[in-house]
Structure 1
């Protein structure tokens, strides 16, 4: 059995543990109120921000590898079933680019705190959740079109996750904007019901946690498929050495011709 299945499991566990650890740490440090803060709000101040940034960066690398393995898996299926080429080849390539950019967006969110560089934090959040939802849709459609090579049950499960991801992403964005417009408190990290827009804030932050959890479970759904594929090391060639060998052979051939003519 291949060990590639450990990648989606690692991504799932690492993200969930990171969210939970930073949430608990931020509450113990009194950096946020326990009433469901945004995930990134739990990692605004040190030491939570240090832990969050380090673990999320590691998770993004593992996520990128997982997305690439998934891309190569589908590409291999296409190579052996020509009928699928028109159905999923372009989708598969787009899903790779979208997925990698989304993973990079997660890293931006982790490293550019809202209190320090707000515009970049929002760009990262939109890249992460917006393109992340788009990646889910691409992968779900691919799974559906691969039937019967992939079970219809799993494809429908991924489609359901994509639907809920999109719905809650919209709630995150809309309620988040409204809540900040209505907010009249001092610090959004300590958002109380009397500060205005509290209900919208809770709706937005809860939705963010749901979207992040959906993403994690979606990646986890690759586990069974990764058990039955193997990934070989890329071929390495030394261009300079090969050129020198070719040059040596050419010189020897010329010398041989000269001697023959003489």
Structure 2
């Protein structure tokens, strides 16, 4: 009896040989029928036209089945050779089984969906498999309750966090590729005169890529730590995508346009509004989480800190509400301000205010330098009160400039 005939050791041998034979037979058939160039064609090209497509599909399905069986046998062998106390090895064993079955499942997808039609199918199935495998791993390792846990809870503890992160990053990549292929297909089927369809096509591409980017954020920042990161990145992406859309559609000049101008004409106005509304929601959530964290870390006797905490929450929510106003009312105020308010006189007034503010900032900086040099031996950075008898000269220019800046800020508004 040969060594590969003993027990189940034939499985990995059959998997390797059968998969290699799959590619070889598909290649030979495609070359003989002159469907591909003999000099190193893409593997996918050798399995896209009948009859080699049939050979490729049937044989690779068999390879997927052998892969599932091989991974299960390996899992049981490692489980039998590992002590119950070695929890890390058990977790890695489960992770290996999940990744092996995922690869076999992907092999089935590649088999039955050749060409670019594989992208949307792979996106849907791979994303679903991500959540299912993370859930199964978390339940097997008793990290979550089996009865309908939160999706985020199934991807917060290792090793399921590794599975969740790697697979969802792959889903984000598939999403980017799928949206780009769809954009090129619609562009090829649309006449140049149909400007509305072109605008909607660009909008769909931008929103699709935004969703994929958000998927990457969700993958790598589990828990509430995602909120401030998502707020900053999403808000930056809002301005960038609105700018790119406006420039591509030639609605603004590419050289440093006003942010408001990149969000006043459809379809970028839609992108700007939807994404900035999402930023406002993230701002509300971030400020509330910060408020609760500070509240938990502050003693009840520290009333000043509690008041400042409440004030920070109110100001944060007010800013988020203002963001919603900016997102949904881009042109109304500017419409009624032109041309009565934006005249030459207003230009000179604003220029004077700008020069005044700049001069005040310079005087504050100079007075601060003089104050540090004229008070040797005094810890100016921690000095809270001025003692009578100390020289007033270094202090007066700085305080005067501060008052002027405050007054000019009110005057500007």
Judge same fold: TM > 0.5, yes or no: no
TM-score (norm 2): 0.29
Which has the higher relative contact order, 1 or 2, with Cα contacts under 8 A spaced 6 or more apart? 1
